[in-house]
Structure 1
Amino acid sequence: MMKKIGVISLFTAFLLGCSQQQSNMAHDEKAIHSVHHHWSYVGNEDPAHWGDLATDYQVCKLGKNQSPVDLSESIVTHSHSIKLRTAKTEVTLENNGHSIQVTPANTNNMLWIKQKPFVLQQFHFHTPSEHTFKQQHFPLEGHFVYQSEDGQLAVVAVFFNIGKANAVLTQLEQQTLSVGQKYSLTQAIDLAKLIPKNQKHLRLTGSLTTPPCTEGVNWIIMQQPIEASQTQIDWLAKIMGKNNRPLQPLNSRFIIQE
């Protein structure tokens, strides 16, 4: 029997330190941070205006299953529907004007949802976090974007608290990129260093947190934060600025704790 509870483990961790629709999702993922229709986090192109900037952005204001959301309550189940496989990979970094996006050179990093395979396409960061617990933000949130063969998207979200330096971020911060610049790391990074060892998680259906705000995205949100140093978080914040979308209504959705 399922019962509704506050996500105590997440709160404790916080104190200590996101048919046709599926076929279109591959295209929409390429449109993440698109400059075709310019958008921003400030001014007249900020999140409050995204839905009016272009016809294909209207779901940003009309959608009923938007992300991010507050994670204060969840429904507990005894199922475990996901499996993650991490592997070392060379990567390319890009400052796309909205975030630092990291693209792997191989397809060895995978996610399975109810045995359906998804391949890691890219990961990027938001400062402060986009999802919250009891309206409280973490200093940093990483989004690992996966895609299935039929174009469906899944995002694994990982929170960061301030603590010891993260080994992967140490590799990434060796290069400070201006907007539009790319850089390829020849030394492979170990994606396992960006995923908590305890993989208890929350799951819900949501959207991309950037235009075009496409819905139908599978969100897996890790409950256990990992650590990054204050210097590393400051480095990302200096490059990206405040790049978190405001919270969206949960509406009729449920947050599942696995």
Structure 2
Amino acid sequence: MKRLQHTKRVCLLSIVTFLIAGLGFSNPAFAEGSENETFFYKEQTLLTPIEAEWNYEGNKGPDYWESLSSEYKACGQGTQQSPIDVDTKSNPSIKEAELELDFDYSETIYSVEDNDEIFQANSFDVDNNILTINEEEYKLNQIALHTPSEHTIDGEEFPLEIQLVHENDEEEQLIISVLVEEGKEDKVLKDVWMALPKADGVANRAVDFDATELIPEQDSLFTYEGSLTVPPCTENVTWLVSDEPISLSDEQIQAVQKVSSENNRPTQDLGDRQIHKVLPQ
């Protein structure tokens, strides 16, 4: 009987060990303030990035996205495509829009990864970061980096664009665009930048981060209806673009550029769409 129990324990330990290894985690770390609860998130194994069927150059670049898959038709045939140039000076169509914005973000664990074309951080707890706009709740799912910027302001391109991707219960998406200019080091984002892969390939590593630090001043926002900037270029995406960039040091910007080649889609025709200047309520 004892031998049977011992065999069961050995089998159970083997299964648990296999499952943990299969998740790709190592060196478990204890959550602060919880001595008995262990989260396996601090260090993860190196993974090989999945090669996307599209990219940003050659015959798989933006000019060809439409032809790469029947699901990508909107990339060439859509009428509300992103990114755009936010013309704040000579665009007579810019009107004002009163929006009630409430940001309820808090410190959250993000998995930091490079999926071959886009460097991004994925939230482990989407319920922890909610943007309410006119009483409609959007949950922050992901933070993506594009270099150089995809959106431009009055024709000006920036070295980096940080996109905060939100989604509501109807799977409608809202994206906040935070543009970055070279300047002083951002000490708050320093920990996030330390998790950037040092070279090609994916060094998955999670970080604790409060996205509140990325929220732009509400009176700096412009909004328009657009699309995803990557295939399948899905439309009916609400964009909030700030014309006041945040500052990162040259070293912080270069850290992104070292692990991510140019991954910005060219600006698209605004067409008959309108850009609105946000007036916070």
One-letter identity of the residue aligned with 1:75: I
One-letter identity of the residue aligned with 2:59: N
One-letter identity of the residue aligned with 1:101: Q
TM superposition shift of 1:137: 0.3
Indicate whether 1:241 and 2:230 are aligned. no
1:145 & 1:201 partners in 2: Cα distance?
16
1:100 & 1:78 partners in 2: Cα distance?
32
Indicate whether 1:160 and 2:180 are aligned. yes
% identical equivalent positions: 32
User: Which ranges of structure 1 fall in alignment gaps of 5 or more residues?
Assistant: 1-33
SS in 2 for 1:124: strand
1:229 & 1:198 partners in 2: Cα distance?
24
Indicate whether 1:92 and 2:114 are aligned. no
TM superposition shift of 1:76: 3.2
**Alignment match of 1:46 (pick from 50, 53, 61):** 61
Match of 1:114 in 2: 134
1:138 & 1:176 partners in 2: Cα distance?
20
1:95 & 1:48 partners in 2: Cα distance?
23
1:197 & 1:126 partners in 2: Cα distance?
21
SS in 1 for 2:267: coil
Matched-pair contact (CA < 8 Å) for 2:97–2:276? no
TM superposition shift of 1:249: 0.4
**Alignment match of 1:209 (pick from 229, 232, 235):** 229
CA 1:37 to 1:98, structure 2 compared with 1: closer, same or farther past 3 Å? closer
One-letter identity of the residue aligned with 2:95: V
Q: Considering only CA atoms, is the larger Rg found in Structure 1 or Structure 2?
A: 2
TM superposition shift of 1:198: 4.9
SS in 2 for 1:173: helix
Deviation string 1:155-174 (CA, Å, 9 cap, x unpaired) is 01111111111234311222
SS in 1 for 2:209: strand
One-letter identity of the residue aligned with 1:59: A
Deviation string 1:121-151 (CA, Å, 9 cap, x unpaired) is 0011111111112221011111000000111
2:59 & 2:270 partners in 1: Cα distance?
26
> Which moves more between the two structures, 168-177 or 134-143?
168-177
2:63 & 2:212 partners in 1: Cα distance?
36
1:117-132 alignment runs, 5 A limit: 117-132=137-152
Match of 1:59 in 2: 74
Matched-pair contact (CA < 8 Å) for 1:122–1:145? yes
Match of 2:28 in 1: none
Matched-pair contact (CA < 8 Å) for 2:105–2:128? yes
Matched-pair contact (CA < 8 Å) for 1:41–1:242? yes
> Which moves more between the two structures, 105-114 or 60-69?
105-114
Match of 1:104 in 2: 123
Q: How many residue pairs are counted as aligned between the two chains?
A: 223
SS in 1 for 2:113: strand
Deviation string 1:80-122 (CA, Å, 9 cap, x unpaired) is 2433222111211011111221012222211122210000000
1:226 & 1:176 partners in 2: Cα distance?
19
One-letter identity of the residue aligned with 2:206: S
Match of 1:133 in 2: 153
Matched-pair contact (CA < 8 Å) for 1:91–1:184? yes
TM superposition shift of 1:175: 3.0
One-letter identity of the residue aligned with 1:192: T
TM superposition shift of 1:78: 5.5
CA 1:209 to 1:240, structure 2 compared with 1: closer, same or farther past 3 Å? same
2:83 & 2:235 partners in 1: Cα distance?
12
TM superposition shift of 1:35: 5.7
SS in 1 for 2:65: helix
1:37 & 1:239 partners in 2: Cα distance?
16
1:108 & 1:199 partners in 2: Cα distance?
25
1:116 & 1:198 partners in 2: Cα distance?
17
SS in 2 for 1:77: strand
Matched-pair contact (CA < 8 Å) for 1:40–1:47? yes
**Alignment match of 1:75 (pick from 91, 94, 105):** 94
Indicate whether 1:254 and 2:265 are aligned. no
2:166 & 2:83 partners in 1: Cα distance?
17
2:219 & 2:205 partners in 1: Cα distance?
31
